[in-house]
Amino acid sequence: MNILGISAFYHDSAACLLMDGGIIAAAQEERFSRIKHDPGFPEKAVEFCLKKGGIKAQDLNYVVFYDKPFLTFDRLLMTALATAPFGLIPWLKAMPKWLGRNLHTPRVIKKKLGCTCPVLFTEHHEAHAAAAFYPSPFESAAILTMDGVGEWATASYGAGQGREISLFKEMHFPHSLGLLYSAFTSFCGFKVNSGEYKLMGLAPYGEPKYKDQILTELVDLKEDGSLCLNMAYFDYLSAMRMTGEKFSQLFDGPPRKPETEITRREMDLAASVQAVLEEAALKMAAHVHKETGEKNLCLAGGVALNCVANAKILRQGLFKNIWVQPAAGDAGSALGAALAVWHRVCHEDRAESAWQGPYLGPSFSNKEVRAFLEKNQYPFHRCDNMERAWVTAQHVAQGKIVGYMVGPMEFGPRALGARSILGDPRDPQTQQVMNKKIKFRESFRPFAPAVLEEKAAEYFDLDRPSPYMLFTAPLREDKRLPMAPELSSQSMSARLKQLRSGIPAVTHLDYSARVQTVSRKDKPDFYDVIKEFENHTGCPVIVNTSFNVRGEPIVCTPRQAYNCFMKTGMDVLVMENNILYKEEQPPYQGGRKGAYVKPD
């Protein structure tokens, strides 16, 4: 039984292949097209999945789409009528895609794939729920989904038991915790659907001084976590923007223009809306626990990528265990849609071995890597697995920045040791060097620590594995350095330079860290690198950030990895059992701006 799941047409398009219930492959289209958050039909991702499974489109039994287009069309139409005449403008702009493509999704899919099998549909939040529950280690669990909007729903809760999922209640558009957060993301000068994690990272620099205003003027937050937004402050119903003039008046001026200086106002706004999101999520989780009585919780939807809120729910203590699938946003719904059909349509039971981890994307053999390097006459050095770990760790310990591409690519937004850039967390300069010369991004952005699973509790207040960077954890008190109290009123650059711990590159302003615990079982090659780094330095922690620069997707192929290596300040590139040094490479012709290459 071959089932292909697809998410497409909004943002983060992806494809996933199940064969007899086993997750064979999954990938986002952006990794192939090189268009960040690519919303188009995932042709290349589908092609990869079928190739990985060794099948053709004609061998598929079902194709499953993660959304019901007619329900979304109904929302768009009702919204346009309710907000006429202003709402007709976004309606008219959206119609060409809807009339030419979205309302004909089955036909589009069959034409793109050249197959004749049935095309099925799940509801948006049903796919989120399935993507959260079915890969989880729980036989039964409560389920909470939170995002911007899917069809009419913006949040839902229910429970899973065995192969069955039941969603009990939904919160409906335009009232949305995700859209509230996105509105502040836009107002602070970041892009919607991609800049929300920047807002989360900015929050510790501010004070939640606007929280009461938000809860008084913008949001009516109920005890069960449901909320009503005061739409007088928002423009996403009737215009092509998130907020309006009244929003600007409430928050001391117009929106920040992208790429301009981040002021104290933006820091305080970020802190304030983050506090509101956390309060709402905690209330939702408490209500879901009360209604279901479950000891386990599965989270999904774009809001479930807010690792600070996830950690607050965990520390709330109502649920013994919390599971967040690493591709919790719309990309992961391709997986959820396929799993929903396997369990709910085909009536197949769950298997303990179904989820083998997030390394579900393309991989490249040593033969393929070396063929690329030799064809282009790029100097490299061969090594075996243990040499690779030792050399990588040694260079990181010497302060070098290392691009690391080993094994199948990760599914989801986080780099988890397959397409990563590595650095020394002990070096006070690592964060600024990696932000400015490697990632070309905002200086305040924090980096994540990858830590040996068995050593995590020595550095962080963390009592369980966190393999997917979806929970923050406080640095242990005995690892902290005191901060001067007067720094809170100083500039961002001055606060960034303040040493907060012996691993300053991964210690955020509030002593928190977005932790990835690494076990030998889950990623043996990456574990060996960190273990060798510990042998060199006594420190079982390493900086791990995604292998890309700002505005570009994470690299997928050897060519993309080489281009990223050469146009940034990286010193060393590891691709499988091959090591490249910057000083040995020929002059790079791509430049910072012209480095895109045609997808391989």
Q: Let me know whether 241 and 383 are in one domain.
A: no
Residue 164: inside a domain, yes or no? no
Residue 83: inside a domain, yes or no? yes
Query: pLDDT per residue over 260-274, tens digit each?
Result: 999 999 999 999 999
**Confidence bin at 166 (pLDDT 50/70/90):** very high
Contact present, 416 and 467 (Cβ < 8 Å) = yes
Q: Let me know whether 421 and 536 are in one domain.
A: yes
Beta strands 296-300; 321-324: pairing state:
parallel
For residue 253, give the CATH number of its domain.
Answer: 3.30.420.40
CA–CA separation, 145 vs 323, rounded Å? 12
> CA quadruple 567, 572, 575, 580: dihedral positive or negative?
positive
- Asked whether the predicted pLDDT for residue 598 surpasses 60, the reply is no
Closest to 301 (Cα-Cα) out of 327, 328, 325? 328
Domain that holds residue 483: 366-584
Residue 153: inside a domain, yes or no? no
DSSP string of 241-298, one letter each residue: SSB-HHHHHHTTSSPPPTTSPP-HHHHHHHHHHHHHHHHHHHHHHHHHHHHH--SEEE
pLDDT at 486: 64
Q: Let me know whether 403 and 445 are in one domain.
A: yes
pLDDT at 597: 38
Q: Let me know whether 114 and 181 are in one domain.
A: no
% residues pLDDT > 70 (the chain): 97
Question: In the predicted model, what is the mean pLDDT of residues 74-84?
Answer: 83
Q: Let me know whether 331 and 315 are in one domain.
A: no
CA–CA separation, 385 vs 577, rounded Å? 7
Q: Let me know whether 97 and 192 are in one domain.
A: no
The C-alpha angle with vertex 555 and arms to 554 and 559, in degrees rounded to 5, equals 165
Residue 143: inside a domain, yes or no? no
- Asked whether the predicted pLDDT for residue 59 surpasses 50, the reply is yes
Q: Let me know whether 335 and 319 are in one domain.
A: no
The single residue listed with the structure tokens 């992961």 is 332
pLDDT at 40: 94
- Asked whether the predicted pLDDT for residue 513 surpasses 60, the reply is yes
Contact present, 136 and 298 (Cβ < 8 Å) = yes
- Asked whether the predicted pLDDT for residue 584 surpasses 90, the reply is yes
For residue 437, give the CATH number of its domain.
Answer: 3.90.870.20
**pTM (predicted TM-score):** 0.94
Q: Let me know whether 334 and 389 are in one domain.
A: no
In the chain, the number of structural domains is 3
Q: Where are the beta strands (DSSP E) in 334-452?
A: 381-382, 402-405, 419-423, 448-452
CA–CA separation, 385 vs 387, rounded Å? 6
Question: In the predicted model, what is the mean pLDDT of residues 550-561?
Answer: 95
Name the CA radius of gyration of the chain, rounded: 23
pLDDT at 362: 98
